Amino acid sequence: MVKILVSGMLGHMGRLVAELADADKECELLGGVDLRTGELFGAPVYASFADVPERADAVIDFSSAANLANVLGYATKNRCAAVLAATGYTEDDLRAIEEASKQTAVFKTANLSVGINLLQKLVREAAAFLGDAFDIEIVEKHHNLKKDAPSGTALMLAESAAEGCGADKHFIYGREGMVGARDKSEIGIHAVRGGTIVGEHEVLFAGEDEIVTLSHSARSKKVFASGAIAAAKFIFGKPAGKYDMRDLLNG
Ligand SMILES: NC(=O)c1ccc[n+]([C@@H]2O[C@H](COP(=O)([O-])OP(=O)(O)OC[C@H]3O[C@@H](n4cnc5c(N)ncnc54)[C@H](O)[C@@H]3O)[C@@H](O)[C@H]2O)c1
């Protein structure tokens, strides 16, 4: 039985995670932390980690990158595994995650869907195969409430593409004005926001007279919530260290 604490439990993703944890026979929904207090599926929602009376086995964070220090503070103090699912981390945040992973098991991914992780692999392979002859551009689309841009997933895909190319690439975020001809070393990343779009990612390899497009479309946020529960079960009891979707899918 994995005792789960949900950070950001009253948000869109937090509610779904709480619902799945509550229904899962291998999990116990201990409660949650959010800016407001309350109750969900019979579990309390606290205003601060300091108020949580019992030690959780795993904390799943779907709050905000701005809450990272609190999440890591709780996880390291209690030697509790952490699933970091929020996006928009800074370089300092990434260093803090690295430090925390020396003390407890930390699972981090900008995208908890199996499909996106396959897409990442395909993008790396396509970039290696097509090489510099093809220009790489990424277009991501999300709902109008998303706070960070571009999406963490678009960045993850851009990094995979750059890795695959094996050449120096730099990221260009949108284009405007007289930007001049496209440089070979660019990977363009474009963010579209509107309505209730769950998450669309398209990676274009544009060559001379031909285009290869690899894409993924999330149809429901449930795919991320069930991925988070799977990640929590996966890292529960694992030694301190950094884990991601590749470990989960391979293990
Ligand atoms: N990794 C993935 O697969 C994946 C999938 C979907 C969303 N996300 C990310 O998850 C995060 C949440 O997404 P959402 O759509 O549920 O957002 P949301 O705004 O609906 O929910 C966020 C919740 O966190 C709470 N919160 C914010 N700051 C807090 C703080 N400092 N302390 C405690 N609670 C705090 C808010 O009150 C809210 O209830 C975003 O960063 C989003 O990009 C990741």
Q: How confident is the model at residue 250 (pLDDT cuts 50, 70, 90)?
A: confident
The CATH fold of domain 2-108+221-250 = Rossmann fold (3.40.50)
Query: 59, 63, 142, 196: which to mutate for ligand 1, most atoms within 8 A of CB?
Result: 63
Tell me the C-alpha distance between 224 and 75, whole Å: 21
Let me know if 227 is exposed, middle or buried by CB neighbors in 10 A (0-12, 13-18, 19+): buried
Domain ranges, ordered by start, for the chain: 2-108+221-250, 114-218
Cβ of 223 less than 6 Å from ligand 1: no
Q: What is the pLDDT of residues 4-55, one digit of tens each?
A: 999 999 999 999 999 999 999 999 999 999 999 999 999 999 999 999 999 9
Q: Class of 114-218 per CATH?
A: alpha beta
CA 66 to ligand 1: nearest atom: 31
pLDDT of residue 249: 86
Cβ atoms of 59 and 86 within 8 Å: the answer is no
Q: What is the pTM (predicted TM-score) of this model?
A: 0.88
